[in-house]
Chains A and B, each alone.
Chain A
């Protein structure tokens, strides 16, 4: 007995993924423009990791939480901007207190601690404090730098790896696609005004890894086909490679999307932003591979004679290439 799966992909159908290239590049340019414009005008809504300040997650001990009462109680504390955000559970809320500045004898760090203590006291006995995060200005600056350095190092590391395993054109094409993905994701965070903190940087790095994974799978096939079809025009060859790997791209993206959706819907408040970045990144990663990385590769051109290179790890017999 053997039950086979459903091969739902129309393998016979050959998509000309380059035909709509102009349109797609236009679309992606517009999206990219909106993203960049939003990041530079509206900016990112940095979480307290990067901006400094305090965050408290609170829960009413019984009944629902009276947000307006909470707001009026906290507004008398004179601590600058205080945001109160209700959560899915009506008992829960998030309180954000902005970065305090140094005043009188207090350094900014101490003012920060004092502010968090005032909020704690103002909450009284009917509200439980479930989570407190207080980040001083010095630490937040360092975390911000570490985040930027991390993303840059990851991009450079990936560039060199792809360069080393393929050719520089592949590396450049992959990195351009990667930067596009990161910019679009940052744009989404900026547009929707979602909190951007350390967890989201981790998501960005994972997204970078995932998106490059997708690109590398297709580049791998391009390289293989370069060995096999020595005379085929590059555009046609790349399109063929895209088509051959398209079913895998769809299945993998769907399965990863399913897994991350579970985190998005059931993972709780703390990793909501993380899951969002990943979901967004999976879609954008596939899109950029098809729309940016591969056309760029055609445009940059690649070395056509791969027969003599010893760089391939795969023991591919030349006989197989002829078949």
Chain B
């Protein structure tokens, strides 16, 4: 049972470092301010279930992404063939490709060459053999077929996810909450966690709308009724008004200016009517375009259109307002009015500033914990930890007396080391995690029980106390390692496959097992060895 001095010192040092790292967790923010800077200051992260907050799992709409791409591809094909002066008929998009028929089949080769220039290498040409993002070919029935490739689609959705994460981050940051977590999960999902914010309604409103703003020409002569009665002219569409669905506008499909060209959008109030409005500013290019357009169209209406993506299963595209151009708008600034409330003006301004989402995001999983429940959970976590530990301590003292107390000290150090490791690693404590800690208390005493029962057994077999203690520790070692490692397997599986709270539980369980093996063979042993030394006689009394 002898410990070399260097061993004693390193054991004490480990415990001391553990104590110092764990200690900030027991201090309030104010007390922590007085904590010296050279000491570790990190506190445990509390999980959303303890501090309250919102957890949303969002799904990108891959179909919409593909459809948008096919739409823009169709535009590109039209422009390419027109520029190359190749006549075509029947340009359209099927489920997965754009198809077009040429008037003169002899021009097929020229058309293919021109269209192939639209293809971009996947990975920006940096990845060898990655191929192109689109494929151009002919079909047996005499059409040209321009289809996105698999690699191209993957690249699209990767880019879209990155862009969506950026937009979502900017929108949530505008709420002024602290440290939201926004990460991509799998190929087409985004996980959003906002601690301390439980108004998921507001959150979902902000990130559930794509908010693609654009400025369109309203058809100068034809009314919606005429268009309905005869036919909607090519390149025009009918969109309803935001406030009154009975009012509709016949609008040119391709916009004059896109929302991407906005540099700023702020909520404000109209100086005359005192209604909430949004003021915006274009970038230089768009300011010039819009200046030219407005000088040519004085006296005619134009439409400000907001595309909110798919909401409740329907494509939500509305005309925010359709003012008449009174004079050329040259400064590149303007305002949108359209019976906003203060909050909706505020939300829309945030959305416009943050940019449009590349695709609709659907909430597929939501978990929100209000701050009061979080506080209650912390409370019940602390209560159960204290009650559990106290009960185990009382039982151990009853069963093993002084050595039982040694075990309790070891368990306390064990818990502290777990907290210290978790603070150091920046891992998150969840309510199941607290359960894991309490369970660790129960299991940590098991190693001590194994040792003590072994010592008793050796003494019953007639050994002297000191050699019984010696072989008790030695013989229990293999058993403790075996039994703890099997539990560890279950813990690792949970960590690997679990998420959120379950993972938090797995972390505390695994750390608990490691700490248990450490304390049983160093801390408890050291205490027993010091006790033997304190007896000052070679023939020590039976301790158990």
Contacts and interface: CB of A to CB of B under 8 A. Distances in A.
A201 B502 contact: yes
B442 A134 contact: no
A290 interface: no
A105 B384 CA distance: 48
Interface in A225-277: 244-245, 247-248, 251-252, 254-263, 265-268, 270-271, 274-275
Interface residues of A, number: 89
B384 A263 contact: yes
A131 interface: yes
Interface centre among B59, B312, B438 (most CB of A within 10 A): B438
B128 interface: no
B384 A262 contact: yes
A179 B418 CA distance: 31
A100 B496 CA distance: 31
A129 B388 contact: no
A118 to B, nearest CB: 12
B313 A153 contact: no
Nearest to B378: A268
Interface stretch (A18-26, A70-78, A185-193, A202-210): A202-210
A255 B501 CA distance: 25
B148 interface: no
B298 interface: no
A247 B544 CA distance: 14
B363 A113 contact: yes
A238 B383 CA distance: 42
B322 interface: no
Contacts of A266: 380, 383-384, 387
A275 B432 CA distance: 10
Interface stretch (A4-12, A30-38, A294-302): A4-12
Interface of B, helix, strand, loop or mixed by DSSP: helix
B267 interface: no
Nearest to B462: A323
A46 to B, nearest CB: 15
Contact of A267 (B314, B373, B435, B502): B435
B381 interface: yes
B486 A209 contact: yes
A80 interface: no
Contact of A252 (B388, B446, B490): B446
A259 B477 contact: no
Given A157-B493, A258-B388, A199 B486 contact: no
Contact of B439 (A128, A134, A216, A260): A260
Interface centre among A136, A146, A258, A260 (most CB of B within 10 A): A258
Interface of A, helix, strand, loop or mixed by DSSP: helix
Range, interface on chain B: 35 or more
Contact of B392 (A8, A139, A244, A259): A259
A153 B399 CA distance: 37
B435 A247 contact: no
A149 B261 CA distance: 49
A18 to B, nearest CB: 21
A126 interface: no
Given A8-B399, A134-B365, A275 B449 contact: no
B65 to A, nearest CB: 16
B337 interface: no
Contact of B368 (A132, A154, A198): A132
Interface centre among B400, B439, B460, B541 (most CB of A within 10 A): B439
Contact of B201 (A57, A117, A161, A261): A117
Nearest to A116: B366
B486 A216 contact: yes
Contacts of A135: 364-366
Given A114-B312, A259-B442, A313-B481, A2 B395 contact: no
A84 to B, nearest CB: 18
Interface string B469-489: 001001101110111111111
A162 interface: yes
11 contacts: A11-B460, A105-B313, A134-B366, A146-B498, A202-B432, A220-B482, A248-B449, A262-B384, A262-B391, A267-B384, A320-B471
Interface of B: 49, 57, 59, 200-201, 204, 312-314, 362-370, 372-373, 376-377, 380-381, 383-385, 387-389, 391-392, 395-404, 431-432, 434-435, 438-439, 441-443, 445-446, 449-450, 453, 456-457, 460, 471, 474-475, 477-479, 481-494, 496-498, 501-502, 505-506, 509, 541-544
Top 5 nearest A-B pairs (CB, nearest first) are: A105-B313, A262-B388, A256-B442, A209-B487, A209-B490
